[in-house]
Amino acid sequence: PSGEFALEAGALILADNGLCCIDEFDKMGVDQHALLEAMEQQTVSIAKAGIVCTLPARTTVVTAANPVKGSWDTRLTTAQNLKGVMTEALLTRFDIVLTMRDE
C-alpha cells in the first residue's frame, strides 16, 4: 500500500449509458441525496481526499420502495405516502411513478 487514495466507481458510474436498479430504496437512508445530482445533471461530482472530479452518470434509475406506513393509503397523495421514504426534491426527479397495491 502506497498510502494514496484511489477512486472506485459506484453503481451509477458503472451503469453509465445503462440502467441502475435500486431495490428497498426506503431503507437506503442518507445515501439517497447522492442521487439528486446524478438524476438531474447526469453527473456525479467527487471532492474527497484530494481527488476532485466530475464523472458521467447518464443512467436510467429505477427504484422500488415501500410506503412510509408499510401499505399504500389511498387517501394520501403519492408525495404524502412516500414522505420519509424520499424527499419531494428526489421524487420530482423521476419521470414516472407507479404504485402497486396488494388488494
Give pTM, 2 decimals: 0.80
Considering only residues 52 and 102, tell me which one the structure prediction assigns the higher pLDDT.
Answer: 52
- For residues 66, 43, 18, 12, the Cα torsion angle rounded to the nearest 10 degrees is -50
77's grid cell = 397523495
C-beta pairs of 41-49 under 8 Å, 24+ apart in sequence: 44/10, 44/12, 44/13, 46/7, 48/5, 49/5
Q: Which domains does the chain have, with CATH numbers?
A: 11-91 (3.40.50.300)
Contact, 15 vs 63, CB < 8 A?
Answer: no
Average pLDDT over residues 69-91: 88
25-66 pLDDT tens trace:
988 888 888 899 999 999 999 888 888 999 999 999 999 998
The C-alpha atoms of residue 20 and residue 53 are separated, in whole angstroms, by 21
| Residue scoring higher pLDDT (18 or 68) | 18
Name the percent of the chain lying above pLDDT 70: 99
* Residue 1 clears pLDDT 70, i.e. is over it: no
Look at residue 14 in the predicted model and tell me its pLDDT: 95
Q: What is the dihedral of CA 72, 73, 79, 83, to 10 degrees?
A: -80
